[in-house]
Structures are given as C-alpha cells and as structure tokens.
Amino acid sequence: MNDVPYIKQWRSSLFALFILSIFSTMAVAESPLWSATQTNEFSKDQILVKLKSNANASSLVNIYSDVGVSHVKTFQNIGISLVEITDQNKTVDEILESLNKYDQVVEYAEPDYMMQIDSIPNDPRFDELWGLHNTGQSGGTNDADIDASEAWNNHTGDSTLVVGVIDTGVDYNHEDLAANMWVNPNEIAGNGIDDDNNGYIDDVHGINAINDDGDPMDDNGHGTHVSGTIGGVGDNGIGVTGVNWNVKIMALKFLSAGGSGSTSDAIETLEYAIMMKTQHGVNIKMTSNSWGGGGSSQAMRDAIDASQNAGMLFIAAAGNSGTDNDASPHYPSSYDLPSVIAVASTDRNDNLSSFSCFGANSVDLAAPGSSILSSTPGNQYASYSGTSMATPHVAGAAALLWAANPNDSYADIKAKLMGTVDQLASLSGKMISGGRLNINNALGCDPNNPPNLQVSLAEAFSVYQSQAVVLTASLVNCANLTGATISVNFSNGDSALTLLDDGVAPDAAANDGVYTANWTPSNTGSTTANFSATHNGNNYPATRNGTVVETIVYTVNDQHSFDWVDISGTGTNLNLSDDSHYYSIPFEFNFYGQSYSDIAVGSNGGIYFEDTNLTLSNQPIPSDMTINTFMAVLWDDLNPGAGGGIFYEIQGTAPNRSLIIQWNEVPRFGINGNTSIQAILEEATGNIIMQYLDVNFDNASYDNGASATVGLQRSADFGQQYSHNTPALSDNMAILWSLNPEEPPAAGSLQFSQATYSVNEGIGSTTITVSRTGGSDGSVSVDYAINDGTATSGNDYSATPGTLSWNDGDSSNKLITVNIIDDNNQESSENFSLVLSNATGDATIGSPNNTVVTITDNDSGDDCAHATFSVADHKITIPMLDMPLLDSLTGEPNGNIAVLQAELAMTEGVGDFKMIPESISIIAGEEPNAECHASYSYNTRIMHFPFVDVASTIVLPPNIVIDGPIQVFEANLQQLQLYNEIFHLKDYTYLYELE
C-alpha cells in the first residue's frame, strides 16, 4: 500500500456544522456564556445534491426513483437542490452512496448537516462601546479601536445600501434598529400575498429559511446583537450606535431559537440575497456571517461563490477555539474565495482575544470582539464576546466605505479595509494583514503615500521540508496595487521565486493585487525570506525569519507479524456510544515529531489529540475537518452503542510502556456483523501497530475496509493514507507505522544485475544474471517470466519461464539462458523482457526487477539487387536474375547464366506477367547469389524474388490493398507452360513498410 505522504492544496469534505460561538455578559443581569459543541448531527430526512450541467429532468426522475428520494426545491442562483428521502428503509449514508454512483449526472451529494450550541453561566461585563472609540475606559488602551468617531466626520452611511445579516434573525421592532431595517418596496405587509412573486409571502424585512416564510424575527438574540453593531441608528439619543449610522439591514434567519440550523437553510438565505439583488434590484452589497464550525461543505462553498459572482462580500467570523486556522480550518471563514473576509477578534488593549482563532494565510484582519455592547431583542442591550462580535464591525465598516465609494467592487473594498489596518505587533504573523480594522484610515486613505508590502509568511515561521507552502504578497496603498513585480529569495539556498497575479493556481484571481507562489522548501534549518516588490520604479522590501523543519514520514509495513493482545477482559471500558473519550496517559507519545499526553478515543475507529470525535462520514487522507491530527485505525460509521465495547489499557513499565486501544466486537451502523480491531502505541519507539482480528461484517460493501479509511494525518494538508473505501484489509493482519524503519530482511533482495542487455542475432544464446544482495540467511526463491516486446517467442528467441532458488548462505548469481534465433531477414532491432515476481523466504525483490533484452540484426541487404514493381506501367523490373543454361543438344540445364536486366509486363489477367524479350541483357561470369538475386528454376518453372520494392499502393490477390511504399519478401511467379512466357503470381510474403 501507499506509504508516501500526500500534499493537499484544497479540497472539500462532506461536513458542514454551523455554530454561534459567542461569549456573553449582560449589562444588568447574568446571561449565558455560549460555546460550541460539535454534534455530528444531520437531517435524516433530506440531503443536498448538485447536478452536472448535462443532467436532464427525465433521467433525474428515474435516478431519484431508483435511489429512493424526491426533489423538494432547487436554489436556482446557486445550482444546488434539496432532496427529500422517501425510502425510509435506507440510511442517509446508503442514499448518498447510491447517488454518488451516478457520477455522469451527479456532481456531488452530501448530508444536510445541523449545528448546535450549548451554554454555561458568566458574569455581567462592560457596557461601553470601546471598539468604536476607546479612551482607556475599564482598563483599556487609548485609541485601541477602529476610529469610528473620526470616520463619522467624513461619512455616516447610505440608507440605500443593504447588508444581509445571516443569523438567528433580527428584532426588526427594536428601538435602535427599526429605522435601519430594510423594507421590501414591492411587498405589502400583512396581506398574505406574495406581491413581488419572489416565492415568499410578506417578506417585508427578509426571510425565515427555517419556516420558509417572510418573518425573520429573532428568537435567540444573537442576530439582533450583530445587527446593532453593524447599523444601530446613530445620533438618535437611544441606546447604542452602529459602525454605520445610515444603512439597511436585511434579516436572513436560518438559526433557530436554540441555535440550530442546517446547511440547506444557510444556502437558502444566500439564494434569497442573490435573487433580490440580481432579479429585484436590491442594493445588497454583502452578508455578515457570525457563525461557523465543523468541516468544509462543497454546497456551502458553491453558494458563497454564487454570491461572489453577484458582486457581494461574504464577511465571516474566524472562530473562537483559539487555534490556528491554517492548520485546522474553520468554516465558512476558511473557504478560499476572494470575496470572503475572515475576521479575528481583539480586546480593548489591542491584543488578540484569548478565544480568537488566527491564521497567517487564512485570516484576513482583526476587529474588536471582546465585551461588545449592542442591541438585544425587546429593546434591551447586552455585552457579548466572540469573533461573532468582531465580524459586524467589519461588515459595518465595509458598508460605510462602500457608501463613500459606490463604484468600488467587492475586491476594492476588501483591499482598502485590509490595506489600511493599524499594524499591531500582537497580530503580526497571525493574519494576512497583520492588523486591526481602522475605518477612518480606509475612508481617508491617501494614495500618494508610499505603499506597504504585506506578506503571508509570519515572522518566526515554521514550515516543513518538501511540503508546499502558498506564499502571498500584496503591495497596498488604500487598495492592492496591480502591475507590480514581487519576488522572494531564501538564505538557506532554496531557489528564488516570482509571485504572480495571473489567476493561475495557486493564485486565486488575476489582477486583484494579490501575488502568489508555491514554495516547496528543500533545505532544512534557519532561513530568511527576503521579499522584494517593484512598482513604478520603486522598490519595497519585507523580511521574514523562520525555520524549515525536516518532514517526518512514517514507514509502513503491512506484512508485520500479527500478535493480538486481547484486553477486553482486563482493560477499562470507555462505554462509548456515538462519541469519544478524552483522557491523559502516563507517558508522552511522539506523533509526527510532536509529543502528546492527552488522547481521545472515538467510536468511529479513530484516535486523536483533542476532545472531540471524528465525523461518521469517512474521508480520504488528508482532509480538512474539525479534527486534523489523528490516526484512522478503521474510520467507519461504527456503532458501539448497539453492542461490543471499546477498551484501553497501559502495559509494561517506563520507558517501554504501551497504550492498547481495542474496539471489541463493535457493529457498524445499519448492518449486521461486527469488527474487532486494536491499536498499540509504543512509548519507547513511537511505533503504531494497527491490528485487525476481524474486519468481516458479512457484507461485501463494508468488509475488509471497503467503506473505511485507514491511515495517519498530521494536518489538513499532510497525511499518509493506507486505504480509503478499498477492501485492503484482511483478518489477522497487522500494519506497523514506524518512525525508525526496520532493518531490511536478512534474507536479502533478489534482482537482475543489469536493467538492459544487447545481443547480436547470430550469437546463438545469451545468459541473464539474477543476484542476491543484502543478506543470505535462509532458503529463498523467485519466479521469472519472459514477455514479448517487438521480438516474439519462437520467431526471434526461445526461453521458458521458471523459478530460481538459493539455499541458506548462498549468495551466488543465478543464470537464465535464452536462445536467440538467427533468421535471414533484414530487419530493425527487436526486444523482449524478463520480470521477477513472488519472492519467498522473507527475501524482497530489489531493483531492477525487470530487464530488457535487445536483439540487433545480423542480416545485411546493402549488396542485394532488389526487384521493383511500378504501379504506373504495371511492370516488374529485375536487376539481377539467375537462370539455368540449357544444353543445346539435350535441352537440359547445364550451368547458369546471369541476366543483368529483365522486365515482366502485367497482362490483362490480374497477377499474370509476360517477359519482354527485348529487355533481357545477359552477362557472363556473375556468380549466383541465392539470398539476393532473383532466380528461375527450370524444374519447378518458378521465378523467385527475395526482395521486391513497391513504390506506392498496390492491390495483391486475393484483393489485398497495401499502402506503399512497401517491401515484399519471398514473391514467387509460376510459369504457366514451359514455352509460354506468361508467369502467374503464385505467392508472396509482405513483411514491413520501407523507411
């Protein structure tokens, strides 16, 4: 199996989990502290399907009927369909598997995943709007804000510009929001009629995708809080003010009162926004998305891409797990689309908030997000914390900037926001811009100031040898400058690179001022990356220092000795159902060079290093998921809640302890049968042994790993896959993953001594040598086979396949004899090959394991006189013809004469030729040459030609058309009667075309 690491640029998995991750404090009373918990839940009644462009209605009816689903609706602007499951006897996995087999019409089918939030208590916090204007209140730092108050001297917004808030809805009656709520001009409120024919009744302020209606009232509070930061009415003497005093907020509800929502409902909100912009003329410029979590959904990405094509920004929270999104992507903020702005959070002292995610290549900029006061339902106000609160600061700023620059594109607005941030040491190397939002800078940006070279590579970076790193750079002055030349060289001796803005991967879009290149580090150790940008004759440098780390790759041995260590009676039962157990182990385990002492064991056959669980839908390795560092022992939809158990046990003493984890007689969801597998993690060596006692479910679709993934993953873009949805396993099998490869077997390796041989046709026979090197312990053997190439067995050579054997201690060379057949044909060199297979006795087959033998021709035709046939005048011209000399008295042959030239003309009969007497020229003293000269036999009355050259297409009996030029060997003319000069074509042999 494959033990080579896979490098991943980007891919989509089938998991989309949306969460509201906010920390909350009330100004007056205690309120919840929200935190995300992944549930792996998805709709059991519906799925998402994207069809290919060639799909037609009639074929879909048959496919859907066969699979057991029916069409619910299609998001026309995005091209994704919501499909209902009608066959209640099938699981979602079975439906997806069936649909994805119709790959001629189905681009993909994926679950309609759900999300969930849960809560723990927290105390009330601050009520000042420090993010807009920080004077040092409550222990903050003066001016650690977005300079909103300064910006308002220049602009306070545009009441015709619309921001879509995709969230839990909005309290559109709130005292500080009502005046800034978008109102559908073509809908009459409360009349129960879809006045504008857009598919929704009374969608006055937006839609509720959960109920498929026009009432997006907030029943959670989160969406109202977000909306207050974007566009709380300013200068009205009530409550708070938003970043944008004058703006319109379109409420797009897909999250319920309990904080749950589906991928399909999120897509529906984007579909509505696109429709209202492109078909109803609504000036919606962006959506604000303060939610996220889970893995990557292709359907969700396609929906965002469609909104981008409609000219909209998609502003998204970077996440609240405090982790690096480069290593563990957070969606939807991590989708690699130009219209996405991923927002991190800062606190009142301009530090990255403790909870905020970051990413040098995946997060764009930061904004205030800790203890942010804003509106909540029922004319209330509260302080929340989270990247959910940072995101609307950027959305409001983008709306304010767009109001001042109405002709700008989404790319222009994004570039200005990122190019005018306040650069902060606390954010350097943590995000692409390296800074916190400053809307006053963006509004008042002076294009005459010198540009700033921003690069994605962080200071003190750490990258892996031989693993591609995407480098981006932008020369920014109010916006990204195009027409620059940007390069980077490395002090460690790696080749210099030119970063391009041509839209060719890895560059996302041409001429957007973002220059991109792939760097695959070669030399390990400390290095300095020296960036240089040239624009209008001026040079702008940037320097980053870091380290290239040696890439660690496991050696895989799937022939390791099986040695089952049963702990089902002695180990600790984790009592898992469809979840995971996270606990500490008494030693540090080395996984891809990192040490871990906390282990999570999951129900679905995985081991990982954070408190979560692998999704039930197995993916190839590597994949972008919630967990990106793990061991997939048998990643499948296992169901210990229905039987069996999962156990762990520590055996041995330090420093040679082992952690044994055993899935014992665990069933797979939806079928009969169970599996028993285990993993052994060795303290001293770092080895991982995966053992498979029983991988037979009595169902070919799932047996032997047919529906599972086996392998190791270090990160979202690096892993080693043994198998994926392939029956590559067997009962009583063990796979050893080793950081320190085992010594090669003492039995040695068997290989040919040469990769090629060259022999002359006249040699008679030749010998091929097979050697044994690297050890001679034990008796070994290897099979060899002979395969035709351009040379064929029986015509050009003869040999018999067989087996070569060595006794214990024997390292002598073994010989294979091949007979070479010498023919009389002039021909080009020909070849055949030998190949080794089936080594026994612990020997391996080395390199080369095959050899090619070339036979060179020993026949020369340079002194031969060829006959020629002219199609134009139907004549055979013979330059040299050997004929018998007849005795004048007896009439019998007596010696030979040589005819220097003779011609035969074709008669009316096809294939009949007549000698032309006057063409004959006789010479004496020419010795006959049977191999080269044409000849005539008095006894057989046959004229034989060893060579006949034909200049063009010829028809030869029986009605064979041969395109010329060609060469005919062994042509024979039969004289019909002794004293009749008519010769009939008797037979011929066609060998090859003339060069």
Residue closest to 847 by CA, chosen among 835, 861, 859, 856:
835
With bands split at pLDDT 50, 70 and 90, how would you rate the model's confidence at 118?
Answer: very low
**Coil vs helix vs strand at 399:** helix
Is the distance from CB of 445 to CB of 416 less than 8 angstroms?
Answer: yes
pLDDT digits (tens, 9 = 90+) for 556-606: 999 999 999 999 999 999 998 877 788 899 999 999 888 899 999 999 999
Catalytic residue among 12, 31, 388, 776: 388
Task: State residue 122's pLDDT score.
Answer: 29
pLDDT grade for 94, boundaries at 50, 70 and 90: confident
Of 924 and 850, the structure prediction assigns the larger pLDDT to: 850
Strand pairing class (780-788; 422-423): unpaired
Q: How far apart are CA 81 and CA 198, in angstroms?
A: 18
Q: Which pLDDT band holds residue 955 (cuts at 50, 70, 90)?
A: low
Read off the pLDDT of each residue in 526-553 and give the average, rounded to a whole number: 93
Mean pLDDT of 949-978: 67
| CA atoms of 787 and 175, how far apart (whole Å) | 86
What is the layout of strands, in order, in the sheet containing 765-773?
797-798, 814-820, 765-773, 749-752, 844-845
* Catalytic residue chosen out of the listed positions 145, 167, 171, 624: 167
pLDDT at residue 233 tops 70: yes
Q: Tell me how far apart the alpha carbons of residues 204 and 356 are, in angstroms, rounded to a whole number.
A: 35
Inform me whether the pLDDT recorded for 785 exceeds 90. Answer: yes
> Cα–chain-centroid distance for residue 747?
40
pLDDT band at 123 (very low <50, low <70, confident <90, very high): very low
* Whole-prediction pTM: 0.55
Read off the amino acid at residue 618.
Answer: N
Mean pLDDT of 388-396: 96
Report the pLDDT averaged over residues 220-231.
95
pLDDT of 6: 26
Can you tell me the distance from the alpha carbon of 390 to that of 377, in angstroms, rounded to the nearest whole number?
A: 20
Q: Is 727 exposed, middle or buried (0-12, 13-18, 19+ CB in 10 A)?
A: middle
**222 belongs to the catalytic site:** yes
Give the largest CA-CA distance in the chain: 144
Q: Name the residue among 713, 777, 771 with its Cα closest to residue 743.
A: 777
Taken in order 306, 311, 312, 314, the sign of the CA dihedral is positive
Out of 222, 393, 581, 933, which one is annotated catalytic?
222
pLDDT, position 146: 87
Torsional sign, CA 139, 141, 142, 144: negative
Least reliable range by pLDDT among 83-92, 575-584, 964-973: 964-973
pLDDT score of 39 more than 50: no
What are the Cα distances from residue 453, in Å, to 11, 180, 404, 480? Answer: 29, 38, 25, 10
Alpha helices in 174-281 (DSSP H): 222-231, 263-280
What's the pLDDT at 613?
66
Mean local confidence (pLDDT), 631-654: 94
- What pLDDT sits at residue 323? 80
- Name the token pair of 520: 């695959």
Q: Report how far residue 587's alpha carbon sits from residue 690's, in angstroms, rounded to the nearest whole number.
A: 19
Q: What whole-number distance in Å separates Cα of residue 212 and Cα of residue 209?
A: 5
CA angle, 268 as apex, 267 and 272 as ends, to 5°?
Answer: 120
Residue 356 in contact with residue 347, Cβ under 8 Å?
Answer: no
Distance CA 529, CA 115 (A): 42
**What is the pLDDT confidence band of residue 743, given thresholds at 50, 70 and 90?**
low
The reported pLDDT for the residue numbered 826 is 67
Which range is most confident: 444-453, 711-720, 951-960? 711-720
Q: What pLDDT shows up at residue 253?
A: 96
Give the mean model confidence (pLDDT) for residues 801-816.
93
| H helical segments located in 281-386 | 298-309
* DSSP labels, 927-986: PP-TTTSEEEETTTTEEEEEEEEE-S-EEETTTEEE-SSEEEEEEEEEEEETTEEEEEEE
Looking at every residue in the chain, the average pLDDT score rounds to 84
Q: Is residue 117 helix, strand or coil?
A: strand
- Cβ atoms of 548 and 527 closer than 8 Å: yes
**C-alpha pair distances (Å), 269 with each of 115, 181, 558:** 16, 17, 49
439 and 401 Cβ atoms separated by less than 8 Å: yes
DSSP one-letter code for 704: G
694 flagged as catalytic: no
Q: What is the pLDDT of residue 115?
A: 52
The verdict on whether 194 is a catalytic residue reads no
Lowest mean pLDDT among 632-641, 685-694, 861-870: 861-870
pLDDT in tens, 458-509: 788 888 888 888 898 988 888 788 999 999 999 999 999 999 999 898 887 7
- Residue 539: pLDDT band (50, 70, 90) is very high
Q: Is a pLDDT exceeding 90 seen at residue 198?
A: yes
Tokens 């303060």 belong to which residue?
A: 290
For residues 614-639, average pLDDT: 83
pLDDT-based confidence at residue 886 (cuts at 50, 70, 90): low
Range with the lowest mean pLDDT among 78-92, 320-334, 736-750? 736-750
Higher pLDDT, residue 610 or 656: 656
- pLDDT per position as a tens digit, 334-343: 998 999 999 9
Look at strands 658-667 and 645-651 and give their pairing. Answer: antiparallel
* In the predicted structure, residue 994 carries a pLDDT above the cut 50: no
